[in-house]
């Protein structure tokens, strides 16, 4: 089985993010692998370990992605593709999905695993749109993947009324939730080996496409402004005798906040 996982380099959400004049202040930002993509990588590596698969990752944009891709190599991914092109500066989910479509078509895969969401966009669209563009079955928010035979996998997803269990025909696309696994910490040996591995860096032309074809020049939607989120103010904090402060707070909830 050939597995393709998609990996995006995103801004570290644990750090402070400042906005000035409608844009994010670059100073002081750090970039990391998207958390849900780390789950996708772990899922691919587990499938490889349990069922003999060939694993490839693809990442679009992000500038120098060497460290991130090496980290995925150290986790067990075998091949890495990095699509980097200045024409992708304004890409939206649809454009990314079109680029991923080209990557898929160059070298047919049996299973595509994407994260459910990118932490910088919080969109949760790219994998699902890719499934539509490729005309492949797609299940989102997946929390387990099991290989049935060469042509089928069984997945479970978190739905509105419970856990839905589906059988999917391959090739297929799944987007994974963070509940699917706990990504491994790469071992020293893997880290050393990863340093020697190549990364296949391509621009759109090398991929056999263009900014027009993937819709990157004129995206379906574009961010025209970033604003500060209205952060809540810390309110009143009570310390001391538990019984006393609790009674005091209940009183405030009833009389001041009027929510009881």
Ligand X SMILES: Nc1ncnc2c1ncn2[C@@H]1O[C@H](COP(=O)(O)O)[C@@H](O)[C@H]1O
Q: How far is the CB of 35 from ligand FAD (least distance, A)?
A: 4
The label of the residue with tokens 């991929």 reads 207
Using CB under 6 A as the binding rule, the residues of this chain from 140 to 199 that contact ligand FAD are: 178
Residue 37's binding partner out of other proteins, ligand X, ligand FAD, none, with CB under 5 to 8 Å set by partner kind: ligand X
Measured CA to CA, the distance from residue 36 to residue 195 in angstroms comes to: 24
Using CB under 8 A as the binding rule, the residues of this chain from 199 to 218 that contact other proteins are: 218
Using CB under 8 A, which of 27, 28, 196, 242 touches other proteins?
242
Q: Give 153: exposed, middle or buried? Use CB within 10 Å, 0-12, 13-18, 19+.
A: buried
- Give residues in contact with ligand X (CB under 6 A): 6-8, 34, 36-37, 40, 59-61, 93, 96, 114-115, 117-118, 121, 123-127
Q: Judge contact between 8 and 37, C-beta under 8 A.
A: yes
Indicate the DSSP class of residue 203. -
Residue 26's binding partner out of ligand X, ligand FAD, other proteins, none, with CB under 5 to 8 Å set by partner kind: none
Stated length of the chain: 260
Using CB under 8 A as the binding rule, the residues of this chain from 140 to 159 that contact other proteins are: 140-141, 143, 154, 158-159
Residue 31's binding partner out of ligand X, other proteins, ligand FAD, none, with CB under 5 to 8 Å set by partner kind: none
Q: How far is the CB of 13 from other proteins (least distance, A)?
A: 5
Q: Judge contact between 143 and 158, C-beta under 8 A.
A: yes
Q: Give 45: exposed, middle or buried? Use CB within 10 Å, 0-12, 13-18, 19+.
A: buried
Q: How far is the CB of 143 from ligand X (least distance, A)?
A: 15
Kindly state whether residue 36 participates in binding ligand FAD, applying the rule CB under 6 A: yes
Which H or E run includes 10? strand 9-11
What x-and-dash track marks residues 109-128 binding other proteins by CB under 8 A?
Answer: -------xx-xxxxxxx--x
Nearest 5°: phi and psi at 23?
-130, 160
């Amino acid at each position: 089985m050939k597995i393709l996982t998609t990996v995006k380099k995103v801004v570290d959400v644990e750090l402070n993010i400042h906005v000035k004049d409608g844009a994010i202040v670059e100073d002081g930002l750090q970039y990391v692998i998207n958390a849900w993509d780390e789950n996708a990588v772990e899922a691919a590596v587990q499938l490889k370990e349990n069922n003999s698969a060939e694993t490839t990752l693809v990442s679009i944009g992000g500038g120098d992605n060497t460290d991130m891709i090496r980290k995925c190599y150290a986790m067990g991914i075998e091949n890495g593709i990095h699509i980097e092109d200045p024409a992708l500066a304004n890409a939206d989910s649809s454009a990314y999905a079109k680029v991923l479509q080209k990557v898929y078509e160059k070298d047919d895969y049996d299973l595509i695993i994407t994260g459910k969401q990118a932490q910088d966009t919080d969109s949760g669209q790219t994998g699902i749109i890719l499934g539509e563009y490729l005309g492949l079955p797609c299940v989102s928010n997946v929390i387990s993947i099991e290989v049935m035979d060469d042509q089928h996998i069984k997945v479970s997803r978190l739905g509105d009324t419970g856990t839905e269990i589906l059988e999917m025909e391959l090739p297929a696309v799944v987007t994974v939730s963070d509940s699917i696994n706990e990504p491994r910490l790469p071992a020293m040996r893997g880290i050393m080996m990863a340093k020697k591995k190549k990364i296949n860096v391509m621009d759109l032309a090398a991929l056999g496409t263009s900014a027009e074809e993937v819709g990157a020049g004129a995206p379906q939607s574009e961010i025209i402004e970033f604003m500060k989120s209205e952060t809540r103010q810390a309110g009143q904090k009570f310390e001391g005798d538990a019984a006393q402060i609790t009674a005091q707070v209940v009183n405030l909830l009833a009389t001041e906040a009027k929510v009881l």
